[in-house]
Copies of this chain bind each other. A is one copy, B any other.
């Protein structure tokens, strides 16, 4: 769902607030319905009801169903990419405790990008409609996971040159880091549920521990083998 602050979603200089809020209502409702029903299963009437707007209003703003769909996808992608970009900057330059820093970073990433409503929407829609709209999701491929990947790879490169990590392929390590974080989460998100904060933290903790066991230098000891939180997924 959208942040109320982003009501500053600018359009033409002369647009009134009412007009703008209709647009946002439509986009939000359409995202909800498209995500729940898929493109073919979603009906304009259902979106209109969900947005508390007449069907004709939707057609005033978007020429046809497909136009609305692409607008929704682009909107969600922009929001997710912005959120992603701001989160990527949050990793501390001089890490205190690497394990804690990586865990907190992973939690922020999953909570605000990968596993929130927008993230679910994108994953689901890319999966179900990706083949039909390759050019549309090309941007997601490049600027979504691609950007996370390269940014993470850069981070790991920095940590490797700093002597804290030890690896041969930074891109691979980035993919594996994300995969490990998702390991405990995918069964939850696959069914459209949102993981709780405890689940996010447990998943991040488990992932980072294994990641560091594989990639930290011998001089960088892990936290002692305390009893791990067992992530009860089912």
A-to-B contact residues, CB < 8 Å: 36-41, 123-124, 126-128, 130-131, 134, 137, 141, 145-146, 168-169, 171-172, 175-176, 178-180, 182-184, 186-187, 190-192, 206-207, 210-211, 213-215, 225, 227-228, 230-231, 233-234
Contact = CB atoms under 8 A, between A and B. Distances in A.
Given A38-B128, A146-B234, A176-B183, 4 more contacts: A126-B190, A141-B191, A178-B183, A210-B214
B41 A187 contact: no
A192 B130 contact: yes
Specify how many copies of this chain sit in the oligomer: 2
A40 B228 CA distance: 43
13 contacts: A38-B128, A126-B191, A131-B191, A134-B191, A141-B187, A141-B191, A141-B234, A172-B184, A175-B183, A176-B180, A179-B182, A210-B215, A213-B213
A168 B228 contact: yes
A107 B172 CA distance: 18
Contact of A183 (B168, B179, B192, B213): B179
Contacts of A124: 127-128
A137 B192 CA distance: 13
